[in-house]
Structure 1
Amino acid sequence: MESGTLSSALEREHREIDEGIETFIEGLAEGGEDTAPLKRAMEGLRRHIYLEEEFLFPPLREAGMMAPVFVMLREHGEIWQTMDRLDAEMGKGVAAVPLRGLCAELLGRLEQHNSKEEPIIYPQADAVLTPEATDHLQRFIASGRIPEGWVCQRAQA
C-alpha cells in the first residue's frame, strides 16, 4: 500500500475510479464505443462504497463522527443512483450525449464527495481504527469482493 496508510490506499482508489470514467469520456469524444473503462470504474466505485459503509464507517460512527458519516452515506446514495442511471443508459447502447452527461454528473458528485471525504474521514480512519480493523480493511482493499446484490444504505432514499 502507498505509504502504508488506509487513507492513501482509499485515495488511490478514488483516482483510479475517476481515471476510468475520464478514459471512457475521452473514448466517446473520439467516436469510440468501448464501455469497459466505465464498467470497471463503476464496479470499483460500488466496491469502494461497500468497503466504506461496511468496514470504515461503523468504527468512525462509534468514535463520534456521526454527522460526517451521515453526509457521506447520503452522498453515496446520490452517487449510487447516478450509477444506476448510467447502467440503464448503457443498456440502451452507446449514445454519446446521455452517457457523457451522466458521466460528467458522476464525476462532479465524486469531486464534491471526495473533497470532503479525503481530508475529514480518511485521516480519522488512520487514527481511530484498531490494528485489527485496519488489517481487515487492508485485506479487503487488496482482494475483497462486494457481495452479490449488495446496495448502499441510501440508494433508495
Structure 2
Amino acid sequence: MGIETVAEALEREHHEIDGGIETFSAALTGGAPDPGPLTRATAALRRHIYLEEEFLFPPLRAAGLVMPVFVMVREHGEMWKILDALDDELRDGAVGASVPGLLRDLQEQLAAHNPKEEQILYPQTEQVLSPAAKGELRELLEAGRTPAGWVCEALRS
C-alpha cells in the first residue's frame, strides 16, 4: 500500500471525526454516556478546521478556488459556533439537555460540508501544495494541535 496523500488523510479525518460523534450519539440514547468520544471528536474537528484554513486554503485561493474556499470558511464558522456550545454543555462533565439538538445540527452541517471539500477542494491538493507544504501538513495531521486561542476565520473580529 502506498503513502497516503494529503487529500486521503484529510478525508480519513472526516470519517474519524464523524465516527466519534456517532459513537457518542449512539450512547446518548442509553442514558449518561462517556463524553470522551465526543470531546475527542470536537477537538479533532477544531484542529482539522485549523489545518485547512491555515495550510490548505491559502494555496487553493491562490489557485483560483476563491468561491469554494469562501463557502467552506463560512460553514466552518457555523460549525465552530456549535462546537463552542457543545464545549459549554460538556464543561462540567455532564451532558446538558441541549446536547442532542446540537449534535444533530453538527452532524447535518458535516454531512453537507464534507462532501464538498472531498469532491471540490481535496482533489486539488496535490497540484497546489508544494512538496514541503505537503510534508508539513502530513506532520500536522499526525501530531499537530490547534494553537491555544485560535479561532476559525469566519469568527475573527
Question: TM-score by structure 1 length?
Answer: 0.93
**Which 5+ residue runs of structure 2 have no aligned equivalent?**
none
Question: Which residue is 2:75 aligned to?
Answer: 75
Cα distance per residue 1:99-123 (max 9 Å; x no partner): 1111111011011010111000000
> Do the aligned partners of 2:79 and 2:109 also contact (CA within 8 Å) in 1?
yes
Q: Structure 1 CA distance, aligned partners of 2:2 and 2:147? A: 26
Q: Structure 2 CA distance, aligned partners of 1:2 and 1:43? A: 28
> Do the aligned partners of 2:23 and 2:37 also contact (CA within 8 Å) in 1?
yes
Offset of residue 2 of structure 1? 7.2
> Do the aligned partners of 2:80 and 2:152 also contact (CA within 8 Å) in 1?
yes
Question: Which residue is 2:41 aligned to?
Answer: 41
Q: Structure 2 CA distance, aligned partners of 1:156 and 1:100? A: 27
Cα distance per residue 1:33-70 (max 9 Å; x no partner): 31111100000000000000010001111111111111
Does residue 53 (structure 1) correspond to residue 88 (structure 2)? The answer is no
Question: Which residue is 2:95 aligned to?
Answer: 94
Q: Please tell me the residue identity of whatever aligns with 2:130.
A: T
Question: TM-score by structure 2 length?
Answer: 0.93
> Do the aligned partners of 1:21 and 1:41 also contact (CA within 8 Å) in 2?
yes
Aligned sequence identity (%)? 53
**Which 5+ residue runs of structure 1 have no aligned equivalent?**
none
RMSD: 1.7
Q: Structure 2 CA distance, aligned partners of 1:156 and 1:4? A: 33
Q: Structure 2 CA distance, aligned partners of 1:156 and 1:78? A: 13
1:52/1:87 CA distance change after superposition, 3 Å: same
Question: Which residue is 1:132 aligned to?
Answer: 132
* Deviating 4+ runs (over 6 angstroms): none
Cα distance per residue 1:16-43 (max 9 Å; x no partner): 0011011111111111331111100000
Q: Structure 2 CA distance, aligned partners of 1:2 and 1:51? A: 23
Does residue 65 (structure 1) correspond to residue 65 (structure 2)? The answer is yes
Question: Which residue is 2:151 aligned to?
Answer: 151
Q: Structure 2 CA distance, aligned partners of 1:51 and 1:37? A: 21
Question: Which residue is 1:122 aligned to?
Answer: 122
